[in-house]
């Protein structure tokens, strides 16, 4: 029963869309298992077309693949419909997209509360995208959330919305001095949106189990990355769900004994979006060089990403908490043209060296990177298709990253295109 989990091994934006697209040719199902439209995947097809996906799994671009928005995802109905319309306008077949009946909906009041709360926090803000993801997950955990299946029962939907707004309007009006939302309008809007994708709502847990019993391959695709996991990330500067491999089982409804491989996506350097600690961050001209060369702008937010050198402490941590079997190292080509490429091999915290992630939030904030300088290379890597075609120094860099992170590197990205990948081992 081959089930592959694909996770970000840093702070997200590692190139998971490229990996999903690559694997998509060998799988029958692709499942998005957590997050919302606060993250995005960019996929570049061989003909040069590029697609930015936010809610819909990257497998939508591979003919014959059934795509699932799993129960662990929070879905903004308007965003979903817009994304479907954009794909359909570009002649992408979206008929094989299903949505778990148990996924939760991002309601208009979630978006409003997210935005005003972040503004209210000022300098203490977490750096959310303001798309309602956090408040939707809060309602899910508090057991007052609205699920996709509620779109099929107007009475239940109306009861839930009225109960939610009885409290949330008080917060909006009395705490944040905002206008109250009308329950009738919210219900009517969401019902109208839901009617347009009601045929996609399904018991996806059952369908996935049946697919695995038939011997079909399922790819579980997360958004964000390990260090943004609400339990295992740099809390509180994290997302509100579990992008780590353990979250894949809960967010898709597939048992852990059915997982056959966990593929971690590593960028050849490190980036993150939003607030929070970032030990190897570069604030100089080199950081700007990497940002420009790597096109480091958030797919969903449009925000410039923070950029730094590769952090092997994070790589080891990701391998450990996810049980990673294979790494996919992306954007190696961006490092071309450097005399020296530093790699963070450890931290110093209060003058003491540590090779592992510090235990406390305070120590992570005060971690100072310990660097090992690797010799750089000047060659263009974009046409390399085998490991031996890479320059010697690039091969040495890959080998050192693999050694430091503790799991094999099975694929290397040398450009944004679907074909710009060097495969060392089969990712399954």
Q: Which residues pair with residue 39 across a beta bridge?
A: none
Report angle CA 312, 291, 32 to the nearest 5 degrees.
65
Distance of CA 406 to the CA centre of its chain: 22
Which among 305, 262, 265 has a CA at the least distance from the CA of 127?
305
Is 41 annotated in the active site?
yes
CA dist., res. 251 & res. 133, Å (int): 15
Q: 258: helix, coil or strand?
A: helix
DSSP for 205-257? Answer: HHHHHHHHHTT--EEEE--S-GGG-TTTSSTTSS-SS--SHHHHHHHHT--GG
Q: Which residues contact 124 (CB under 8 A, 6 or more apart)?
A: none
Note the Cα 123 to chain centre separation in Å: 25
Looking up tokens 């120590």, which residue turns up?
363
Maximum separation of any 2 CA atoms in the chain, in Å:
66
Q: Which of 13, 76, 229, 333 is catalytic?
A: 13
Tokens of 290: 């990497």
Give the pair of three-digit tokens for residue 141.
């955990």
Told to judge if 13 belongs to the known catalytic residues of this protein, a careful annotator would answer yes
Of the candidates 21, 41, 54, 150, the residue annotated as catalytic is: 41
CA pair distance 236, 222, nearest whole angstrom: 20
**Residue with the two structure tokens 């679907």:** 418
Contact 50, 415 (CB under 8 A): no
Whole-angstrom Cα distance, residue 364 to residue 371?
16
Tell me how many helices (H) and strands (E) the chain has: 12, 20
Residues serving a catalytic function are: 13, 41
């Amino acid at each position: 029963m081959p089930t592959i989990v694909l996770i970000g091994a840093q702070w997200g934006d590692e190139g998971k869309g490229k990996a999903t697209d690559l694997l998509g040719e060998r799988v029958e199902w692709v499942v998005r298992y957590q997050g919302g439209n606060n993250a995005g995947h960019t996929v570049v097809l061989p003909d040069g077309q590029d697609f930015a996906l936010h809610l819909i799994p990257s497998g939508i671009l591979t003919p014959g693949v059934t795509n699932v928005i799993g129960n662990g995802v929070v879905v903004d109905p308007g965003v979903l419909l817009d994304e479907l319309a954009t794909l359909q306008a570009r002649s992408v077949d979206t008929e094989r997209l299903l949505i778990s009946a148990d996924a939760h909906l991002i309601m208009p009041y979630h978006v409003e509360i997210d935005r005003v709360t972040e503004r209210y926090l000022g300098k203490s803000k977490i750096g959310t995208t303001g798309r309602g993801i956090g408040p939707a997950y809060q309602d899910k955990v508090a057991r007052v959330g609205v699920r996709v299946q509620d779109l099929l029962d107007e009475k239940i939907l109306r009861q839930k919305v009225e109960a939610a707004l009885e409290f949330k309007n008080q917060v909006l009006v009395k705490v944040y001095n905002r206008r109250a939302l009308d329950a009738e309008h919210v219900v009517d809007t969401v019902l109208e949106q839901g009617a347009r994708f009601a045929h996609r709502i399904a018991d996806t847990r059952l369908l996935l189990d049946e697919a695995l019993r038939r011997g079909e391959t399922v790819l579980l695709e997360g958004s964000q990355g390990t260090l943004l996991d609400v339990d295992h990330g740099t809390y509180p500067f994290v997302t509100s769900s579990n992008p780590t491999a353990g979250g894949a089982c809960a967010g898709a409804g597939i048992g852990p004994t059915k997982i056959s491989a966990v593929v971690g996506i590593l960028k050849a350097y490190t980036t993150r979006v939003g607030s929070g600690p970032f030990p190897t961050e570069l604030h100089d001209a080199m950081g700007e060089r990497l940002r420009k060369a790597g096109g480091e702008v958030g797919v969903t937010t449009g925000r410039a990403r923070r950029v730094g050198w590769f952090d092997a402490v994070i790589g080891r941590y990701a391998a450990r908490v996810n049980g990673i079997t294979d790494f996919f190292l992306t954007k190696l080509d961006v490092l071309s043209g450097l005399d020296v490429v530093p790699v963070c091999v450890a931290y110093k915290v209060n003058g003491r060296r540590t090779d592992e992630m510090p235990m406390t939030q305070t120590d992570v904030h005060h971690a100072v990177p310990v660097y090992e300088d690797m010799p750089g290379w000047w060659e263009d890597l974009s046409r390399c298709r085998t490991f031996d075609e890479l320059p010697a120094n690039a091969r040495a860099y890959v080998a050192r990253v693999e050694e430091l992170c503790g799991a094999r590197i099975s694929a290397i990205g040398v450009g944004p295109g679907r074909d710009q990948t060097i495969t060392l081992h089969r990712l399954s």
